[in-house]
Structure 1
Amino acid sequence: MDGPIQAEHEQISTALEVEKLEASLFRSKSLWVPWKARGVFGGQVISQALVSATNCVDPAYGLHSLHCYFLTSASPATPIVYSVERVREGRSYVTRSVKAIQNGQTIFIMMCSFQKPEPWQPSYQWPMPEVPPPESCEREEDRYLRLANDQTLSPNVREAFRERLTERSRSPIAIRAAREHLVSSDGTISYMYWMQARSIPEYPAPFQKCILGYISDLFFIASAGRTMGLKRYGKGPDVLTMTSTIDHSIYYYSDHFHCGDWLLYVMRCPRAGSGRGVVHGRMYTQDGTLVAVASQEGVVRANTRGPTDGTKSKL
């Protein structure tokens, strides 16, 4: 294998698309399961739920936050139905709840809040870290290709990287590593990636936020395992055996960004333990505007076992 795999990537518009069944009821049209994942990609469930909720809100209100829980893995074999409830109608804020239902079971719940913008209010943000521009950063496809061709790795590991390469080439999101495992003077570890939606339509601001919801789940909880030094492949107690999202939150602070442009995603894991990890993320435009802040907690398990009561956990 000498050159990169040429594959037509999926369209982000297809990933987000839902069918309207009734005024507050929507249904997924396509579902994607990442390589070796337990179920449908969480970012796709978030983004489809957001599209459903946004379609039930007056355009004068803009999405400013969401909080969601993943209750069980979604199967790609059956469409997901999104039921939107109009929880609150206020002058400045409106609230919607969304239940994602599959085979009669609630698999995901989300609360999201929309605000009439107040651009005249004072503002503040953390500055964007100094990183190389996206054009000078390595594509994830090129990194996987390099590793797939690395003869010092075992055949099984090289094949795994080849499968990752195929999947990454087909993804609707392009990713370039800006800085990985950057350790600051206080010991804080950061992972930074440039991310961009490929071939994106000219969506208005409300649906740019839905796309950002999709992007926000990429590489996110995995940074907790990497912070602890866990490996994806091999044997031993330092091998990562499972990651799975429990909850996810996003706070939006701009209507003026386009996911077809490069966004810098900065990730940190402040705490991990007891088979869980929490990660915080910040998304910046190339001009340094902080447009969204995200948090996520998930199951992060290594290949180590403790006392058992003889029962098997579903997580």
Structure 2
Amino acid sequence: MANRVTLFEPPPLDATRAPIENVLDLTPVVDIGPDVFTNTRPLWHPPGARGIYGGAAIAQSLAAAMRTVPTDFAVHSMHCYFVLAGDSEIPILYHVERVRDGRSFITRTVQARQRGRPIFTTTMSFSKANSGGEKTLQHAASMPDIALPKEPTPGSRRTFDQTGGGPFESKKAGITNRASSNAEDKKVRRFLRARGKISETGGHQANLSALAYITDSFFIGTVTRVHDIPRFTSPQELERALNALKNPSDLDDEDIARALKELKEEEALELRRRLEGALSKVTAEKNKADRKEVGMMVSLDHSIYFHNQWAFRADEWMLTEMESPWAGEGRGLVLQKIWSKDGVLIATCTQEGVVRLKQDEKPRSKI
């Protein structure tokens, strides 16, 4: 059991399911209790992160709770707290508590534990399908008028196999009001979707788990993005982040290299822009004094409101739009809307996290 990444030996990947279904697979731990589950496969530790990718804990907690709920119920809200950084080198146990079972709504809490301590906790509410009645109030925010990404030519798109491939893919869709001096005016957009095709046996539960997993991607980083602060400010920092990578079960070397190359290119442009005009020592010192660098960035809480739970597929393109209405006191808040490819609003999310900048060194005493 010492240094064991998973509690049980992982089975072979199921080729009939989408990659994200394999990544989020759970195994019941009947020796501990009827509503206790563990991660079937190793979990991803992103480069530079303090622990596992938060979306895994969110999605696996949801998947665990859904195993205790009838299939004609679907999650409509989920409120999460990240308590401790998850360690990708030891198993996680998900304990589900059946708080209430009503005719229209069901409530569950899930606590993810490592070494007997909670690292993540969430409370979820499920609603029964068509329980709102024939007459309902309806309105929804409209999807921005952005063309869907073009599909690659046949044979050019790399498919997932047992040798690797991330569970979802993304494409940039621009930043609105990018030139604005007000960070709160900017909106960061991306297209996201799960790779492959989510299986029919996985049903709407698999699509909801996949969506939950994806919601944590690029989320709290929006705070620094709207301030035009790069996450890494030198190739050395990128190298350290890469060396810290653990159990990259979600990404293969090609995906990691591509992501870091993209990051390097973006940040090289930013660094070049900062250095332009540094023609004197005075200018250089001023640039150094004005420079802002990320010291710590970690999620504290994460909420998802699911809309139209049966009206989307997570393996089709979804548009996400993120904005940060506030940052201060070493924290930042981000709001996120997600639309299906058909323009249906399928989720609204919020996340608050610690966002601290590196502080200037205090002048040392000459005495």
Q: For this structure pair, what is the TM-score category when the shorter chain's length is used for normalisation?
A: 0.7 to 0.9
Shift of the 303–204 alpha-carbon distance from structure 1 to 2, 3 Å rule, reads same
Kindly provide the amino acid, as one letter, of the partner of residue 227 in structure 1: V
Shift of the 24–228 alpha-carbon distance from structure 1 to 2, 3 Å rule, reads same
Match of 2:208, SS state, is helix
Please state if 1:134 is matched with 2:129: no
Indicate which of 282, 292, 298 corresponds to 1:238: 292
Indicate which of 99, 102, 110 corresponds to 1:90: 102
Shift of 1:190: 0.2
Shift of 1:133: 2.0
Q: Verify the 8 A CA contact 2:198 2:206 in the aligned structure 1.
A: no
Match of 2:150, SS state, is helix
Deviations 1:231-285 (A, max 9, x none): 2232754112221110000001112110110000110100011111010001101
- The aligned counterpart of 1:146 is none
Match of 1:244, SS state, is strand
- The aligned counterpart of 1:151 is none
- The aligned counterpart of 1:258 is 313
Structure number having the greater strand percentage: 1
Please state if 1:11 is matched with 2:19: yes
What pairs with 1:86-235 in structure 2 (closer than 5 Å)?
Answer: 86-118=98-130, 120=134, 121-135=136-150, 170-183=165-178, 188-202=185-199, 203-234=202-233
Mapped to 1, the partners of 2:179 and 2:70 lie a distance apart of 44
Extract unaligned runs of 5+ from structure 2.
Answer: 1-17, 153-163, 235-287, 363-367
Extract unaligned runs of 5+ from structure 1.
Answer: 1-9, 138-168, 308-315
Please state if 1:66 is matched with 2:87: no
Please state if 1:293 is matched with 2:348: yes
**TM-score relative to the length of structure 2:** 0.69
Mapped to 1, the partners of 2:122 and 2:198 lie a distance apart of 26
Shift of the 233–215 alpha-carbon distance from structure 1 to 2, 3 Å rule, reads same
Q: Verify the 8 A CA contact 1:232 1:241 in the aligned structure 2.
A: no
Indicate which of 26, 38, 56 corresponds to 2:50: 38
Match of 1:225, SS state, is helix
Match of 1:264, SS state, is strand
Q: Verify the 8 A CA contact 1:263 1:285 in the aligned structure 2.
A: yes
Deviations 1:105-136 (A, max 9, x none): 11110000000123632311011112232118
Match of 2:339, SS state, is strand
Mapped to 1, the partners of 2:229 and 2:68 lie a distance apart of 42
Q: Verify the 8 A CA contact 1:47 1:211 in the aligned structure 2.
A: yes
Kindly provide the amino acid, as one letter, of the partner of residue 243 in structure 1: M
Match of 1:64, SS state, is strand
Please state if 1:279 is matched with 2:290: no
**Higher relative CO (CA 8 A, sep ≥ 6), structure 1 or 2?**
2
Q: Verify the 8 A CA contact 1:181 1:227 in the aligned structure 2.
A: no
Please state if 1:50 is matched with 2:62: yes
Mapped to 2, the partners of 1:188 and 1:136 lie a distance apart of 31
- The aligned counterpart of 1:302 is 357
Shift of 1:204: 0.9
Shift of the 122–55 alpha-carbon distance from structure 1 to 2, 3 Å rule, reads same
Match of 2:106, SS state, is strand
Please identify the structure whose Cα radius of gyration is greater.
2
CA RMSD, aligned part only? 2.2
**TM-score relative to the length of structure 1:** 0.80
Q: Verify the 8 A CA contact 1:250 1:292 in the aligned structure 2.
A: yes
Q: Mean alpha-carbon deviation: is it higher for 107-116 or for 177-186? A: 177-186
Mapped to 2, the partners of 1:200 and 1:230 lie a distance apart of 36
Kindly provide the amino acid, as one letter, of the partner of residue 342 in structure 2: D
Deviations 1:123-166 (A, max 9, x none): 110111122321189xxxxxxxxxxxxxxxxxxxxxxxxxxxxx
